[in-house]
Amino acid sequence: MTEAAAPDRVPDRASGRLSGRSVLITGAARGQGAAEARLFAAEGAQVLIGDVLDDQGEALAKELQLELGEGRVRYQHLDVSSEDDWAAAVEAATSAFGKLDGLVNNAGILRFNELVTTPLEEYLAVVRVNQVGCFLGMRAAAPAIESAGGGTIVNTASYTALTGMALVTSYAATKGAIVAMTRVAALELAPKGIRVNAVCPGAVDTPMSDPANAFVGESGAPLMSAEDAAALAAATKELYAKVVPLGRIGRPDEMARLALFLTSDDSSYVTGQPMVADGGWMCGVTIG
């Protein structure tokens, strides 16, 4: 088994690939979104951190301001299922940075449940955040990105959009929709100078995938104790070591680098694509 999962920090090897860019990243207070915010800012971008976790989001913004300069990073409360919040976030980015030419639709939630026991309310809650949030984000940001002379949109889908996985009906449905919307948006927005792609991570070690956050009841309360959730998380990582060819769960910084590639000029001829980063999980089954 190769190295264990690391925190959401990124290596100190920035090369200014996003200098002059301004990017809005959703769900950026922690996990994969926080890793993207750190990396994008380190690569020269002005970053608007959007999230509903205000304390964590503001703390990250302040940390990056101290490191990089106060005008480089801002925090904005953003419920991605709210049209009004999206309008306010785009306005905040253009007001603070003078333009918006990048969006990373990273915000998402995960719920584990069997198909026949999934309550409609739970299914719709996942749809509102993952699918509707992505739709609203592209719709709100595209005009601003076009006004800036073009840019990029990166949507966070999942390898479950392309293959099956038990217990994630609602999650997989929304991620499949994100891949479909990405392709349509790429066709419609290409003439406006906007490239649209999707990252499709496999299992990544983030708070979203923590069983304590993914197994919840109708009230939103955890269905297992902290101790049981920690034990299940450890057992799951051991399982990934067996079923993932690279022998481990993914790290947030690895997904951030893929989002950076799709946001930078390194991918200037890439649009409409679901880019899988799953450690080889989709390749198949190893015998022996």
Between CA 173 and CA 117 the distance in angstroms is 16
Q: Tell me the per-residue pLDDT of 9-60, one tens digit each, with 9 for 90 and over.
A: 554 556 899 999 999 999 999 999 999 999 999 999 999 999 999 999 999 9
Distances (CA, A) of 282 to 28, 199, 202, 239, 254: 27, 14, 9, 15, 17
- Predicted TM-score (pTM) of the model is 0.91
pLDDT at 122: 96
Residues of the chain with pLDDT under 70: 1-14, 218-219, 288
**Domain map (residue ranges) of the chain:** 22-208+251-273
Catalytic residue among 123, 159, 171, 240: 171
With beta carbons less than 8 A apart as the criterion, state whether 18 and 3 touch: no
171 included as an active-site residue: yes
Q: Give the per-residue pLDDT at 210.
A: 83
Q: For residue 105, what are the β-bridge partners?
A: 155
- Report helix, strand or coil for 69: coil
For residue 201, the Cα-to-chain-centroid distance in whole angstroms is 9
Strand partners, 26: 50
Per-residue model confidence (pLDDT) at position 219:
67
Domain 22-208+251-273 has CATH 3.40.50.720: yes
Closest CA to 255 of 21, 8, 50, 4: 8
At 6 the pLDDT is 45
